Structure 1
Amino acid sequence: MSTPPIVDAHHHLWDLSVRDQDWLVGPELAPLRRNFSLSDLAPEAAAAGVGASVLVQTVTVAAETPEFLALAAGSPLVAGVVGWTDLTSPAIAEVLAELRELPGGEALVGIRHQVQGEPDPNWLLRPEVLRGLAALADADLAYDLVVLPHQLPAAIAAARLLPQLTFILDHLGKPPISTGELAPWVDLVRELAALPNTVAKLSGLVTEAHWANWTMASLRPYAQAAIDAFGPRRLMFGSDWPVCLLAASYGTVLSTARTLTAGLSADEQAELFGGTARRTYRLGRSRKAT
């Protein structure tokens, strides 16, 4: 029996000749200050056995999402796009409908906002944001949560208020791996996972650890906590390429995830490395409103 192709549920692309990535500041991020294209990713993905991917927004610029959809339209690899649009806009339903009509629009599977950069820890609970999140549910889209641990309480509250919307926790909520602390992150993740409309990505862990000298032992408590909380049918693998390159190669990130989940059955691993992403994002199926 052949192994099903892996789904990489979280990666990025950018072209600095099109626009600046304003988050790439400081000498430590210098390795990322270059273009990263599908032609760079494709051989890495193929070598790792990845057959489909989800391309995720990087900047809060509306023009990026149509560009990503166009890439998906011409790529056998990119099966889904998590884009960005202004959640606070009264016209969000119309904007989502327009995105769906663009080339590659059927690949739009979710929306993400850089909540981690919002100074208000309760940003997700603002009335205009909750209205926008409800519009995502109406459009049959998911919402990717990119939050820091102190923002998890608001994420939990929002997920409770909007049970019709699937919330996908990116990078396990950025746990403090570099310090080795588990509390209060672990309790908050368990609280979020107790809600049936939540899913999480086993992604971004190596860059939350010490980049130069992370170990499997430093990652294991966090990965195991997520496995215990969400279970493999609500966890999905993501490379977080090319950000992961600060700490590990594409192949190393995948092999690390394999090692961290080695205790799962073959069926459970098939879910975590593909089934969950396909089901949650409904990859390969038209998402146009009917």
Structure 2
Amino acid sequence: MRIDAHQHFWIFNAERDAWITDEMAAIQRNFLPTDLAPQLKENGIDAVVAVQASQSPEETQFLIDLSVMYAMIKGVVGWVDLQADDIADQLAHYKQFPIVKGFRHVIEGEEDPDFLSRPSFLRGITALTAYDYTYDLLIRPRHYESTLACVAANPAQRFVLDHMAKPNIRAKEFEEWAAFIEKLAAFPNVHCKVSALVTEADWENWTLDDFKPYIHHAIACFGKERVMFGTDWPVCLVAATYAEVMAVAEHSLEGFTNDERQAFWGANAVNFYNL
């Protein structure tokens, strides 16, 4: 199967979704599985992992409900308050929904550089491990050190880095990001999504070659068995079509065997999320 390991659905709410600014007007509307289905068919994608876009229990239930109606959704990465005193009870509740594979917090929106090192947050990660849930890392450079500390403290937890840690491709910043990727990839329990890169580049003037050094470095560090493809649809639409996002990844897979290509386009996501 070919899997899009990272995409979103929402019923647009201007107040809740304030992160979708006016310069992103193209995605200031509803996006549901019926909007995505034609893109999957045209681009040969069989199934998707739906990832939370807002931070509430209602968001997680919304994605669960969609998965009941649309077979394309093979996994859900929801939101839960990892710092809650009753986190174990909340995770036990979600065990009745096998479609829920893991959780994510929008760390990139947290100004505290040490958010991932908070005792309350680390207690939540310990609970995720106990209940066999994955955790998606969505971070910015200010979180590099606490990310490494969090991962080091939780060797049994399955982590996946969203969007290759969002390197600043537009400004061609590389060295600090590359050093972080090398350090993070040294932990064998961390995987990486090759996703959302177009929105970190010049939205109007990017070229396929802009992304190659970043993708090549991530693959060199994580290895071909720990990288997976995702589009970040519909966010990607501010800078590229679904097909163009696939082309960005395809352009950097030189030397992949057929088995390695199948792993990148699907099998690695199936294995990581237990789809």
TM-score bin, normalised by smaller chain: over 0.9
* CA contact 1:66–1:99 (8 Å) conserved in 2: no
Deviation at 1:18, TM superposition (A): 10
Give yes or no for contact 1:88–1:131 (8 Å, CA) kept in 2. Answer: yes
Residue number among 13, 16, 36 corresponding to 2:9 in the alignment: 13
Asked whether 1:36 is paired with 2:31, we answer yes
- Residue identity (%): 40
CA contact (8 A) 1:68 1:81 kept: yes
Task: Name the CA distance, whole Å, in 2 between partners of 1:120 and 1:132.
Answer: 17
Aligned residue number for residue 55 of structure 1: 50
Q: Contact between 2:211 and 2:248, CA under 8 Å: does it hold in 1?
A: no
Structure 2 counterpart of 1:171: 163
SS where residue 199 of structure 1 aligns? strand
Alignment deviations for residues 42-99 of structure 1 (CA, whole Å, 9 cap, x no partner): 1101111111110000011221101101111222100000000101001111111212
Q: Which residue of the partner structure matches residue 104 of structure 2?
A: 112
Q: Whole-Å Cα distance in 2 between the matches of residues 74 and 263 of structure 1?
A: 39
- Does residue 190 (structure 1) correspond to residue 185 (structure 2)? The answer is no
What is residue 205 of structure 1 aligned with on the other side?
197
Q: Give 1:20 deviation, angstroms.
A: 3.5
Residue aligned with 2:196, SS:
coil
The counterpart of 1:223, out of the listed 215, 220, 237, is: 215
Say what the alpha-carbon RMSD is for the aligned residues: 1.3
User: Partner residue of 2:253?
Assistant: 261
| Equivalent residue letter for 1:204 | A
CA contact (8 A) 2:114 2:143 kept: yes
2:19 maps to 23
Counterpart in 1 of 2:71? 76
* Partner amino acid, structure 1, of 2:19: W
Whether the 8 Å contact between 1:152 and 1:173 is mirrored in structure 2 is: no
TM-score normalised by structure 2 residue count = 0.97
1:17–1:222 Cα change, 3 Å:
closer
**Following TM superposition, by how much is the alpha carbon of 1:153 offset from its aligned partner in structure 2, in angstroms?**
1.7
Task: Give the gaps of 5 or more residues in structure 2.
Answer: none
Task: Tell me, in whole angstroms, the C-alpha distance in 2 between the residues paired with 1:179 and 1:20.
Answer: 30
Query: What is the CA–CA distance in structure 1 between the aligned matches of 2:68 and 2:91, rounded to whole Å?
Result: 17
State the AA in 2 paired with 1:48: N
Q: Which amino acid aligns with 2:93?
A: E
What secondary structure, in the 3-state scheme, does the structure 2 residue paired with 1:260 have?
coil
Which segments of 5 or more consecutive residues in structure 1 lack a partner in the other structure?
284-290
Q: Distance in 2 between matches of 1:201 and 1:23?
A: 22
State the alpha-carbon separation in 1 of the partners of residues 13 and 232 from structure 2. 22
CA deviations 1:14-42 (Å, max 9, x no partner) are 002698312112x2111110000100001
1:87 aligns to what SS in structure 2?
A: coil
SS at match of 2:71: coil
